[in-house]
Amino acid sequence: MMDFTLQQHPALYAAFDTYPSAKGASTHIYHFSQTLFNHTAGGLLYVLGGKKLLSYQKEVEVEILRFDAAIPNYLERAQLYSQHLMEVITTQHQLKICHFRDIWGGQPILLLQEEKGYKSVFEVNGLPSIELPYRYPLLTESTLKKLREREQLCLRKADYIVVPSEVIQSHLRQRGIAAEKITVITNGADLPQTLEKPVEAPEKYIIYFGALQSWQGVDTLLKAFRLIGDFSDVKLVICASTKPRKLKEYFKFIDKQGLSDRIIWQYQLKKRPLYNWISGALFSVAPLSACSRNVEQGCSPLKILESMALGIPVVASDLPVVREIVSNDRIGKLVRPDRPAELARAMRLLLDYPDLTKKMGKNAKRHIQENFTWESKKQQLIRLYQKAC
């Protein structure tokens, strides 16, 4: 049990993610939770913690509670997170709306919903039954079946569902969820004005930034980069959202490909330094793999939106989720996924024609300004909250 007393809140936002962090999920949590708490004039943010994060924080009308139990087993940690959230909710008697990002937060929220009388919003960015097998390939079919059952329960019982792409909406409709229950609100991007290329950056470089899970297709990028070795003055900068100790297999692969002297690594950068690195790049690459996580479930890649917002064109995989953002070749270059040679040809095109690349970047920035600012996404979310309570 908690050894302190939380104040009473009108809203709860729950996410089984470390916050803040260098991951794209953290950006989404920031914008959506702040939108909720601004709408309700306060609230409680319940997230995962870490070594350098406080277990409890108070910021004006918002309290942040971090579950930081050091439990190595993912599913055991998730279950204990749910149990602790249940205890938290039982202390809250003025809740009007609860917004959750995953089934681990959804279980206790939906179990207590009828008793407490609040409305619930399920923000579906990913589903464990699809995503976890990539991280834990030894998961049994019986475990995956239980996960799917919990997902279905949360989807069925939540009052409202928010998804970041049409692809995810389509997947949920195939699972029997009514279209009118689902609202599509894509990710957005900030439009920072004053940026400076890092002094340590090379003169010419291509950039990849974000996580390096298998579905991100970084192995395809590395193979493609090797194929444009004749551009010896162009480096590849990888801004990883993870620590170096988790990337040993990539280091081995890069060494085997003979690319060690052509790649520059940056780790867990905060937003401003990351944007500085992006702003100095010739273009960025988002080589998403054509796997079930990206094709069947779907996503809304922040790396594409953030690059375009900074006027940096993107070479990306030609997948339905990407075409929702990059609608034509005036604002980005799309290639078939998982094909290093095709990716290399597209990268070579942008390197050979710098004027075309710069024009594409300007068009991309305008496209974000007109369609994908975080402010416009927040307005969509506010309209949903107004409908809920």
Tens digit of each residue's pLDDT (9 = 90 or more) over 248-261:
999 999 999 999 99
Task: Tell me which residue of 379, 386, 387 sits closest to 185, measured CA to CA.
Answer: 379
Measured distance CA(122)–CA(99) in Å, rounded: 6
The residues near 388 (Cβ < 8 Å, ≥ 6 apart) are 97, 119, 121, 159, 160
The per-residue pLDDT string of the chain (389 residues; one tens digit each, 9 = 90 and over) reads 456 689 999 999 999 999 999 888 999 999 999 999 999 999 999 999 988 899 999 988 999 999 999 899 999 999 999 999 999 999 999 999 999 999 999 999 999 999 999 999 999 999 999 999 999 999 999 999 999 999 999 999 999 999 999 999 999 999 999 999 999 999 999 888 889 999 999 999 999 999 999 999 999 999 999 999 999 999 999 999 998 988 999 999 999 999 999 999 999 999 999 999 999 999 999 999 999 999 999 999 999 999 999 999 999 999 999 999 998 899 999 999 999 999 999 999 999 999 999 999 999 999 999 999 999 999 999 999 999 98
Report the pLDDT value the prediction gives residue 22, as an integer from 0 to 100. Answer: 85
- What six digits make up the tokens of 150? 């919990």
The residues near 143 (Cβ < 8 Å, ≥ 6 apart) are 75
How big is the chain, counted in residues? 389
Q: Which pTM was predicted?
A: 0.94
Measured distance CA(75)–CA(41) in Å, rounded: 34
Intrachain domains 11-188+373-388 and 204-371 with the same fold = yes
Confirm if 147 and 128 have CB atoms less than 8 A apart: yes
Residue written as token pair 């500085």? 276
Confirm if 16 and 46 have CB atoms less than 8 A apart: no
CATH code matching the domain that covers 11-188+373-388, chosen among 3.40.1180.10, 3.40.50.2000, 3.40.720.10, 3.40.50.300: 3.40.50.2000
Beta strands in 117-178 (DSSP E): 119-123, 160-163
Report the pLDDT value the prediction gives residue 2, as an integer from 0 to 100. Answer: 56
Topology annotation, domain 204-371: Rossmann fold (3.40.50)
- Delimit the domains of the chain by residue range: 11-188+373-388, 204-371
φ and ψ at 267, to 5 degrees?
Answer: -130, 130
